[in-house]
Amino acid sequence: MSAQPPVPTERGILQFLAICDSFYPPDAVQASIEQQRHWYDALCARFDRPLPPEMIFADGMLQRIPIRRYRPRKISTRTILLYLHGGGFVVGSLESHHAICAEIADFAGAELVSVDYRLAPEYRWPAQTDDVFTVSKHLLSANSKVVLIGDSAGANLAAGLALRARDEGLSGVVGQVLIYPALGGDLAAGSYVEMAAAPGLTTADVAYYREILQAPAGNEIAEPLQAASLAGLPPAFITVAHFDPLRDDGRQYAARLTAEGVEVWFREEPQMVHAWLRARHMSEGARDGFRAVCEAIRRFAAA
């Protein structure tokens, strides 16, 4: 008899998982790419929310890369927020994280730019990091200060961007906010074993996304945990979910950053699962976690 997978007990997050399962099957990665994107889009639409009052947004292109700019009713800083969506590098778009981006921009009182970077398998690594690096370089040259924000695969891109900016001598990245980041940890150790069958994301799913992206093993931009040095990186806020195979990636990265002299705020959500951002309006734990994310972003943007 196989052991039951670990699950949280908070009522709101269990309700969230039940809704997710009705839209996005647990074995979704076995379906075609087109089907996966159809399911994901429907799931995102289910959790869509009205935008904050007086929020303005507009789509555009930046060197042929689609972006969406959000401008809240009150701007309190000139720092720009750069948001990179999750989705395993396979699914996700400007629409999938639309309300999340708007709410972050409104809370922080800052303009936010979301990037519709190219997806795998049509575009393999490094297309994704190159797209977001192009956008970040433009924002840094035009605005001087940027906060990097990403969830899951987007957090991988954000962490990689911080490394690229440091290595290329680009100044102005004032913070990195990594939400349940995928950072290239060992799939045969730690939370990848303990939470291998966690609800919402399994270790097998992570292996699938790595395989489809085809990033070179050990490359520090693709796998920031493999970086030779993390010294000189901008301050970081890292949040992980307890019931998530990616949990130890964030734990280990926070520990390494701290050891190498980078200021870090670390938070582990004890009742959360992967992708809990979408549960922020129905789960007490997700609501508290989202507020902590927004407060960190506002703090970095005001620096």
Residues 211-253 have pLDDT tens digits of: 999 999 999 999 999 999 999 999 999 999 999 999 999 999 9
Angle at 61 between CA 57 and CA 63, to 5 degrees: 145
Alpha carbons 274 and 151: distance in angstroms, whole number: 10
Confidence of residue 80 (pLDDT cuts 50, 70, 90): very high
CA distances (Å), 138 to each of 61, 135, 267, 299, in order?
Answer: 12, 5, 31, 23
Does residue 262 have a pLDDT over 50?
A: yes
- Of 97, 108, 55, the C-alpha closest to 296 is 108
Alpha carbons 125 and 116: distance in angstroms, whole number: 15
Confidence of residue 1 (pLDDT cuts 50, 70, 90): very low
Average pLDDT in the 277-298 region? 98
Alpha carbons 280 and 236: distance in angstroms, whole number: 22
Does residue 283 have a pLDDT over 70?
A: yes
Alpha carbons 113 and 139: distance in angstroms, whole number: 9
pTM: 0.97
The predicted structure's pLDDT at residue 303: 83
Alpha carbons 249 and 63: distance in angstroms, whole number: 32
SS3 of the chain: helix, strand, coil, percent, to 5: 40, 20, 40
Sign of the alpha-carbon dihedral angle for 191, 197, 200, 202: positive
| 283 counts as catalytic | no
| 2 counts as catalytic | no
| 274 counts as catalytic | yes
Confidence of residue 3 (pLDDT cuts 50, 70, 90): low
256 vs 4: which has the higher pLDDT:
256
The predicted structure's pLDDT at residue 46: 96
Residues 39-66 have pLDDT tens digits of: 999 999 999 999 999 999 999 999 899 9
Q: Tokens in use for 194?
A: 């303990």
The reply to whether omega before 126 is within 30° of 0 (cis) is yes
Among candidate residues 116, 244, 248, 249, the one labeled active-site is 244
Residues 163-220 have pLDDT tens digits of: 999 999 999 999 999 999 999 999 999 999 999 999 999 999 999 999 999 999 999 9
Among candidate residues 96, 152, 191, 283, the one labeled active-site is 152
